[in-house]
């Protein structure tokens, strides 16, 4: 996959759609956001990661300073659209000269490399393009099978997997996601994490999912979700209907999978 080409095409489509959308229009897939907020978000994201890559940020302690030094963003729609174009171009310029294995900070502790940012920004640009189209009342432009499968990878390997070190982590079921058009399969260990945050004092009980590893990988799934890669990706990211995915199996496993997806990804 030419990820830079995907990021460029998806980001440009995102800007094209929002250029003709009421900035106050609500984003149905990001509760509480307007079209203006969505546009501003992608400007922030591309600018931030362009600077992480370009300034060789590798430590958590340097991130706050990077955020504090972010340039002010314009408020008008034309200026914000131009800022999106500039931020995307800056991000792509860094990705063009860096190799995946080169070290850079990321918010995902297991992967502190340029490759994480390249993969994450491929999915982020794609999913936010879908958000823009839904905000404008348009049917989402289909994801290519390769991009869609990569978006499911990102859910299974990253977006569903956060568990704080202090939490109790419990597995509920193994489920299998099956893409009918690409023959891709993902075996996912679905469960929950819970406990009281040591700093906040707040109680948590949240769903989580991760690619099955070790002994779990050899066990038989008790539920299956089947659809095209496009429909699986949109459903997994909370941008497509459950009705587009055929989900069968043990009720406990199905309920755990539903809870995970319904928890949502902003």
CATH number at residue 153: 3.30.1050
Which CATH number covers residue 7?
1.20.120.450
Same domain membership, residue 71 and residue 49: yes
* 119 and 94 fall within a common domain: yes
CA 209, chain centre distance (Å): 14
8 Å CB contact between 31 and 42: no
Torsion sign across C-alpha atoms 247, 234, 232, 161: negative
235 and 157 within one domain? yes
Residues 183, 11, 78, CA angle at the centre, nearest 5°?
A: 160
Out of 120, 141, 162, a domain closes at: 141
Q: How far apart are CA 190 and CA 221, in angstroms?
A: 10
The CA-based diameter of the chain, rounded to the nearest angstrom, is 54
pLDDT of residue 216: 63
Residue 70: the pLDDT is 84
Question: E strands of 46-116, at which residues?
Answer: none
Residues 166 and 56 in one domain: no
Q: Distance between CA atoms of 188 and 237, rounded to whole angstroms?
A: 15
Domain end among 141, 157, 191: 141
The strand pairing partners of 168, in sequence order, are: 194
- pLDDT (0 to 100) of residue 72: 84
**Contacts (Cβ under 8 Å, ≥6 apart) of 243:** none
Q: What is the number of structural domains in the chain?
A: 2
How high is the pLDDT of residue 265? Answer: 86
Buried residues in 173-206 as b, exposed as e (16+ CB within 10 A): bbbbbbbeebebebbbbbbbbeeeeeeeeeeeee
195 and 127 housed in the same domain? no
Tell whether 126 and 185 lie within a shared domain.
no
94, 120, 141 - which closes a domain: 141
Q: Which residues of 109-139 are buried (b: 16+ CB within 10 A; e: fewer)?
A: eebebbbbbbbbbbbbbbbbbbbbbbbbeee
For residues 252 and 157, state if they share a domain: yes
Residue for token pair 């099955």: 212
Phi-psi bin for 44: left (phi > 0), alpha (psi -120 to 50), beta?
alpha
239 and 161, same structural domain? Answer: yes
Side-chain half-sphere CA neighbours of 214 within 13 A: 2
186 and 93 in a single domain? The answer is: no
* Shared-domain flag, residues 68 and 128: yes
The pLDDT assigned to 215 comes to: 62
Whether residues 156 and 238 fall in one domain: yes
pLDDT in tens, the chain (266 residues): 899 999 999 999 999 999 999 999 999 999 999 999 999 999 999 999 999 999 999 999 899 889 888 888 888 999 999 999 999 999 999 999 999 999 999 999 999 999 999 999 999 999 999 999 999 999 999 999 999 999 999 999 999 999 999 999 999 999 999 999 998 999 999 999 999 999 999 999 999 999 998 666 567 899 999 999 999 999 999 999 999 999 999 999 999 999 999 998 87
Question: Could you list the residue range(s) of the whole structural domain that residue 224 is in?
Answer: 149-263
Same domain membership, residue 199 and residue 90: no
């Amino acid at each position: 996959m030419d990820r830079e080409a995907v990021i460029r095409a998806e980001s440009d489509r995102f800007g094209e759609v929002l250029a003709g959308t009421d900035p106050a229009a609500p984003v149905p897939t990001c509760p509480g956001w307007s079209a203006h907020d969505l546009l501003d978000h992608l400007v922030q994201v591309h600018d931030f990661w362009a600077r992480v890559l370009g300034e060789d940020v590798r430590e958590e302690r340097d991130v706050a300073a990077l955020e504090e030094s972010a340039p002010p963003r314009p408020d008008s729609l034309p200026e914000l659209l131009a800022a999106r174009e500039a931020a995307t171009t800056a991000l792509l310029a860094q990705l063009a000269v860096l190799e995946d294995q080169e070290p850079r900070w990321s918010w995902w502790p297991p992967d502190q490399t340029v490759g994480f940012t390249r993969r994450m920004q491929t999915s982020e640009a794609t999913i936010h393009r879908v958000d823009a189209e839904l905000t404008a009342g348009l049917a989402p432009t289909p994801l290519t099978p390769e991009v869609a499968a990569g978006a499911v990878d990102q859910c299974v390997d990253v977006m569903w997997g956060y568990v704080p070190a202090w939490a109790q982590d419990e597995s509920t079921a193994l489920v299998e996601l099956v893409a009918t058009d690409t023959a891709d399969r993902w075996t996912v260990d679905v469960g929950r994490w819970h406990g009281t945050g040591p700093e906040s004092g707040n109680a948590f009980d949240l769903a989580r999912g991760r690619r099955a590893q070790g002994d779990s990988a050899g066990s038989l799934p008790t539920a299956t979700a089947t659809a095209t890669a496009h429909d699986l990706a949109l459903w997994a990211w909370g941008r497509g209907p459950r009705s587009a995915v055929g989900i069968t199996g043990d009720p406990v496993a199905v309920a755990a999978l539903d809870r995970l997806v319904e928890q949502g990804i902003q």
